Amino acid sequence: MLNLYASNVKKPISIHNDPWEAYNDMQEHDRLTLSNIEFTTTNLCNMRCSHCAVGYTLQTTDPDPLPMDLIYRRLDEIPDLKTMSITGGEPMFSKKSIRNVVKPLLKYAHSRGIYVQMNSNLTLPLDRYLDIAEYIDVMHISHNWGTIDEFTDVGFGAMDKQPPLKAKLRLYEQMLSNSSTLSQQGMFISAETMLNQSTVPHLEKIHNEIVHDMKCQRHEIHPMYPADFASQLEVLSLKEMKTAIHHILDIRDPNLWMLFGTLPIYPCIKDENDQALLQRLRDTPNVTMRNDPDGRNRLNVNVFTGNVIVTDFGDENGTISNIKHDKLPDVFNHWLATPLAQSLNCHCSEFSCLGPNVLVKNMYYPNTDFKKNEKIMHR
Ligand code: SF4
């Protein structure tokens, strides 16, 4: 196992240090660089959210994972690896998976000074999370629950046999108290809310819960895009999206870091209102915007099959390779050379902008040629 960085060189996460920002690689290497691997470590979960990217592929048992030696080797081959994300299912659900996959990955990351994010629903007993706390840089949780009914319905929307209501409500309470306890003990908890028809009427309530009850250090806002898994929830029009962003800027707690990711608003779109909103986001203290990482600095690896996807739009693009036979930097370079990536990957340094991903483009800008916009911007 490589030991490229001493673990104590990691700077704390802050508005000035977001290691998941793909633009960091552009600044460091002057090109898109593979620096982020997301591992799908389990197909198991105690919930079945309708909006979950893997909600309909969840299973009741996990197959055997690939040998960890192969996974370590593939990670060793990535010289610029800076961040790792661990996702599922619920990564802390299966004790076997925690022992055989999650903890070994956390220890690997620790030994290389790599930042780690875990995507969890935080509804399991507290001691599971305390057990891995020292290895976690960001505990990421989705919070899209405008009402308790939303949690009990949508949170289990893809489950055939519904648990009793009381059991569902207990999980909600557990999530709130885990978040606040872990945060008070020093864990960085980042709650993400998707902008869609269900969340927008309740943004103030959700934000206040994230600030006061969950005591999170960051609230992330990401528009919901119509990937397959979310097709039953209603996406917002571009106009509704912009109104919702203004609204959350109006009502937010100014002391909490808000991160806006994958926004469908770009400096090259010549619209006064868009540019005013972008300027507002840039000028507001404690607010940051993040370029979309998928395919820019990140690949997703499934630890059971070895399949590699360009995260989130795997449905659009499918499996692009397998770690059983390919090195990840080679897979990434091959992806960057595809016509799809070439058609999307624009770059305007003046705005630290890396352009839209395929879902954003298809949803809101099907007729815009961003490569042409890029040329105009560079004149
Ligand atoms: S990088 Fe692409 S999307 Fe961003 S401003 Fe330039 S051309 Fe527009």
Domain for residue 32, yes or no?
yes
Average pLDDT, the chain: 90
* pLDDT tens digit sequence for 339-361: 888 888 899 999 999 999 888 88
Read off the pLDDT band of 55 (50, 70, 90). low
CB of 275 within 6 A of ligand 1: the answer is no
Residue 178: give its domain's CATH number: 3.20.20.70
From 271, 274, 344, 351, the mutation candidate for ligand 1 (largest count of ligand atoms within 8 A of CB) is 351
Domain for residue 194, yes or no?
yes
**Percent of the chain's residues with pLDDT above 90:** 70
pLDDT exceeds cutoff 60 at 8 = no
CB of 264 within 6 A of ligand 1: the answer is no
Which residue has the least CA distance to atom 7 on ligand 1? Answer: 374
Q: How far is the CA of 93 from the centre of ligand 1 (A)?
A: 40
- Of all atoms in ligand 1, which is nearest to the CA of residue 347? 1
pLDDT exceeds cutoff 50 at 160 = yes
* pLDDT tens digit sequence for 128-137: 999 999 999 9
SS (H, E, C) 195-228: ECCCCHHHHHHHHHHHHHHCCCCEEEEEECCCCH
36 versus 312: which is more confidently predicted? 36
Domain for residue 11, yes or no?
no
Domain for residue 14, yes or no?
no
Residue 59: what pLDDT? Answer: 67
Three-state DSSP state, 333: helix
Domain for residue 358, yes or no?
no
pLDDT exceeds cutoff 90 at 119 = yes
Domain for residue 72, yes or no?
yes
Domain for residue 15, yes or no?
no
Mean pLDDT for the stretch of residues 270-280: 95
From 347, 360, 365, 371, the mutation candidate for ligand 1 (largest count of ligand atoms within 8 A of CB) is 347
3-state helix, strand and coil shares in percent for the chain, rounded to the nearest 5: 40, 15, 45
Domain for residue 155, yes or no?
yes
pLDDT exceeds cutoff 70 at 4 = no
Domain tally for the chain? 1
Instruction: Report the distance separating Cα 375 and Cα 379, nearest Å.
Output: 6
Q: Contacts from 71-74 at CB under 8 Å and sequence distance 24+? A: 71/39, 71/105, 71/301, 71/303, 71/323, 72/1, 72/108, 74/301, 74/323, 74/327, 74/328
CB of 361 within 6 A of ligand 1: the answer is no
Place of tokens 């600044």: 27
CB of 151 within 6 A of ligand 1: the answer is no
- Of all atoms in ligand 1, which is nearest to the CA of residue 356? 3
- Of all atoms in ligand 1, which is nearest to the CA of residue 355? 3
* CB hemisphere CA count around 232 (13 angstroms): 11
77-81, 233-237, 302-306 — which is least confidently predicted? 233-237
From 266, 351, 358, the mutation candidate for ligand 1 (largest count of ligand atoms within 8 A of CB) is 266
Domain of 333, in residue numbers? 22-338
Residue 343: what pLDDT? Answer: 85
CB of 377 within 6 A of ligand 1: the answer is yes
pLDDT exceeds cutoff 60 at 63 = yes
